Amino acid sequence: MHIQSVLHPAGIEAALVSRLWWVMFWTCAVVWVAVAGAMLFAIRRGRTRVAPANERSVFRNVLVAAGISLVALVWLLFESVLTGRAQENVSTKDSLHIQVTGYQWWWDVQYENPVPSLQVTAANEIHIPVGRAVVVDLFAGDVIHSLWIPNLQGKIDLIPGRHNTLTLRADAPGIYRGQCAEYCGAQHAHMALVVVAEPAEQFERWLSANRAPAPAPVTPSQVRGKEVVERGPCAMCHNITGSLASARTAPDLTHIASRSTIGAATVPNTRGYLAGWILDPQHIKPGNRMPPTGLSDEELQAVLDYLETLK
């Protein structure tokens, strides 16, 4: 339930903000009660009797009240700046570097590594180790997007021609959801991603598994599926390392079967949804960049068989 919530922090950065929120909430609540109460009291008083108004003393009270609110404001300003500094000071030593590029309407994820063959490409799903700082380098492929994973960290925009970074650290294992928070066109509503925070060894296992190319198909149906992918429309946009499909304009499918969702966290990754998606993606996510593929029934089943091997 609380996989996309500001008030259920699972990381240090979000925890700091959550604390700041409660400080502000209670301060503001007290202020509101005081002001609204003063007004209610004033209405009662104004209705019951004619007050002998001494303008000077009345205005002095106004100034006192304004002074008190000024003190409250300065206090909140300090809280805000201190929280900001605490966030800045979270150590990024030995951090994991991930590059996320936003496209209309999905996320391309690259695990950076100086050795090109050790880089890992994923899409719409980020795995991170628990307890280790992660520096996310943010780029935009077309328009402005904004990466927001509320349980872990506040949002930062992905702006064409600019490089922003987002630092986060998950302190509890779990599955969180992030979403694009800057309006980016027709399918802004369905531009989400899944963040899996897992213990370090599990993360390393996942990383090395994702370095491997796609396994060769085994059954005749899988072989046929691979052939359809390579010769049909799929290969025009998608990449499957280990096959002839090597385009880069759509999410990388090399390990599609290991992901929990498809369509940028729009629907669960089940055989049924996947079949519906391949046949008519415009029905599920109108306006997205994948055209109806027009595969025959036999081709579709073969492709599904093949995709299910891409763990």
Q: Give the number of residues in contact with other proteins, rule: CB under 8 A.
A: 98
Considering only residues 183 to 202 of the shown chain, the ones binding other proteins according to CB under 8 A are: 183-189
Q: Quote the least distance from Cβ 286 to other proteins, whole Å.
A: 4
Q: Which of 20, 195, 196, 300 binds other proteins (CB under 8 A)?
A: 20
Distance CA 28, CA 22 (A): 10
Q: H helices within the chain, ranges in order? A: 12-48, 55-88, 200-211, 220-231, 271-279, 281-284, 297-307
CA gap 261, 107 in Å, rounded? 13
Does 177 interact with other proteins (rule: CB under 8 A)? Answer: yes
Amino acid identity at 245: A
* Single-letter amino acid, residue 239: N
Q: CA 195 → CA 28, 75, 152, 198, distances in Å?
A: 33, 35, 10, 10
Rounded least distance, CB 118 to other proteins, Å: 27
Minimum Å gap between C-beta 128 and other proteins is 18
Footprint of other proteins on 27-86 (CB under 8 A): 28, 31-32, 35-36, 38-39, 41-43, 45-47, 50-51, 53, 55, 58-59, 61-63, 65-66, 69-70, 73, 76-77, 79-81, 83-84
Q: What is the dihedral of CA 141, 256, 274, 244, to 10 degrees?
A: 80
Q: Which of 10, 12, 17, 130 is in the footprint of other proteins by CB under 8 A? A: 17
Give least dist CB 114 to other proteins, A: 25
Q: At what angle do helices 55-88 and 12-48 cross, to 10 degrees?
A: 170
State the maximum Cα–Cα separation within the chain, in Å, rounded to a whole number. Answer: 97
Using CB under 8 A as the binding rule, the residues of this chain from 204 to 233 that contact other proteins are 231-233
Q: Which of 157, 198, 252, 305 touches other proteins (CB under 8 A)?
A: 157
Binding flags for other proteins, 267-286, as an x/- string (CB under 8 A)? ------------xx-xx--x
Stretch that binds other proteins, among 16-24, 125-133, 212-220, 300-308 (CB under 8 A): 16-24
For residue 173, give every residue at least 6 positions away whose Cβ sits within 8 Å of its Cβ, in sequence order, or none. Answer: 130, 197, 198, 199
User: Contact region for other proteins (CB under 8 A) — 91-99, 141-149, 207-215, 302-310?
Assistant: 141-149
Q: How far apart are CA 193 and CA 285, in angstroms?
A: 15
Tokens of 37: 């109460």
CB of 171 to other proteins, least distance (A): 17
Return the residues of window 99-128 that contact other proteins according to CB under 8 A. 104
- Cα distance between residue 290 and residue 269, in whole Å: 16
d(CA 14, CA 8): 8
Instruction: Name the one range near other proteins by CB under 8 A: 5-13, 124-132, 204-212, 217-225.
Output: 5-13
Minimum CB–partner distance for residue 261 and other proteins (Å)? 10
**Smallest separation (angstroms) from other proteins to the CB of 241:** 19
